[in-house]
Chains A and B, each alone.
Chain A
């Protein structure tokens, strides 16, 4: 079974609003969008991030762009200057998402 990092199938960007991180994720190839829809469940994403995300995760789908928006609460150690994280704005949350391991035959 072929295992790849998600970044081979998808790309995205993360942003912050207070302690909430949003990560948009798009299929690199629209053909993979339905597969990603099955794979990238909230439960799976929550388990991938573990302690890094303390709050609720919501997934929004935008079919016309073959993409998703994941909104993660209490995900930035308090947000902006409050956070002691090196990446207090969560710019690297997107790449942390992209290293999720995916079985392509799932």
Chain B
């Protein structure tokens, strides 16, 4: 029996996450690998816009800052780092990592990188070949967004990352690798699981799934009992420990956070749809009979994960320009704060009508009352009447920027021209570009991914 044990940490849950846990994990996590997820559904479109403004941009700079802090120690300890921080500009990310490694004298440091997930320029040719890019979520017509595309990236699996590791990469950077593939790749590389060893592949995916959101897998955003999470200011991120037979979720010593049955449960089904068919590029996972068992202090055993054949199609996420939006805020104080805010909203809407606002959608919310829970919020008359303050929020979505701009100058004047006790904050609102997402499937066979290695001199 192989006694091999691999420990892999989830260093980042999203682009913008804290680096503290990743740094601590490299020092005290006793890791073999650390994977850092930077890409949410929308992130690539934002990165593409950044790259359009500046060809050097378009990847997660934060990752380079992290590598600057932990790269040397990780390299010396033999902890390999894997990330999808390359976003829309792998070349730029690799160049920045190379420079960082050179600055630290890490000669011989091998940077693995994967290219080929960016399908934007290939769409016309693929369409000519007969692909219809049918929307997964609705019956929209692709031709309506075809000339507004910002980015198109395919969610790919673990294989090209494994190829980098096989070539001795110390660090691997990719674009739109599926989050869980960042974690499955090193496990498959280490354990040598076969391509049809579905149960093990599924186990690797679920290790990734429990880790890919960083702190959310270790007591962050914990509904069961958030007060019971120790030292949230020093929240550790989760670590998966796998052997050929078993899988545990734990965390590094000497940090905050909580690994319990409940904390693992909350992450377990997060963003999963059908638990019997959790489809990833690598394997179709069945967690409908899975078990989570506390097996020590901050240690949970994960069992009974099954896998089935992977799908023939891969998800392609297309971001497109979908107009503009602006949100504005004005606060009102007791007494009758809500009534005053409603009156102010009415004034604004009358003004917008006179200005001929052409809006695709208008939202009026009252922060402190119903902006989060909307129709489910309590509208108990006593509560509503006695609110200390309420913030009026008006948001509009428009096709033209000039339409969205119509709302902006009308908010602050209401301090003097509307109901009493209004206070404007946050400065003048900025009009933002709206990015639409068009999720679709494409056949695996049309995707061409390449794994490369750059050795730092």
Chain A positions near chain B (C-beta within 8 angstroms) = 7, 11-13, 15-20, 22, 24, 26, 28, 48-52, 58, 60, 62-65, 67, 69, 71, 73, 77, 79-82, 84-87, 91-92, 94-96, 98-99
Contact = CB atoms under 8 A, between A and B. Distances in A.
Contact of B137 (A12, A18, A63, A69): A18
Interface stretch (B52-60, B98-106, B122-130, B289-297): B289-297
Given A26-B265, A65-B290, A84-B395, A99 B373 contact: yes
Interface in B248-274: 262, 265-274
Contact of B435 (A82, A92, A95): A82
Given A12-B266, A84-B397, A96 B304 contact: no
Residue of A48, A73, A86, A92 with highest tally of chain B CB at under 10 A: A86
Most A Cβ at <10 Å: residue of B42, B269, B271, B374:
B269
Given A11-B223, A86-B371, A92-B372, A65 B363 contact: no
Nearest to B371: A86
B184 interface: no
B287 interface: yes
A20 to B, nearest CB: 7
Most buried by A among B42, B362, B376: B376
Nearest to B45: A81
A65 B393 contact: no
Interface residues of A, dominant DSSP: mixed
Interface in B347-385: 361-363, 365, 367, 371-376, 378
Give the interface centre of B42, B274, B439 by most chain A CB atoms within 10 Å.
Answer: B42
A95 B372 CA distance: 9
Contacts of B396: 84
9 contacts: A12-B266, A15-B270, A24-B272, A69-B274, A84-B327, A84-B361, A84-B362, A91-B221, A96-B376
Given A13-B267, A64-B289, A69-B272, A82 B322 contact: yes
A17 B221 CA distance: 18
A92 B266 contact: no
Nearest to A7: B223
Contacts of B232: none
A22 B271 contact: yes
B142 interface: no
Given A13-B223, A15-B271, A69-B273, A49 B266 contact: no
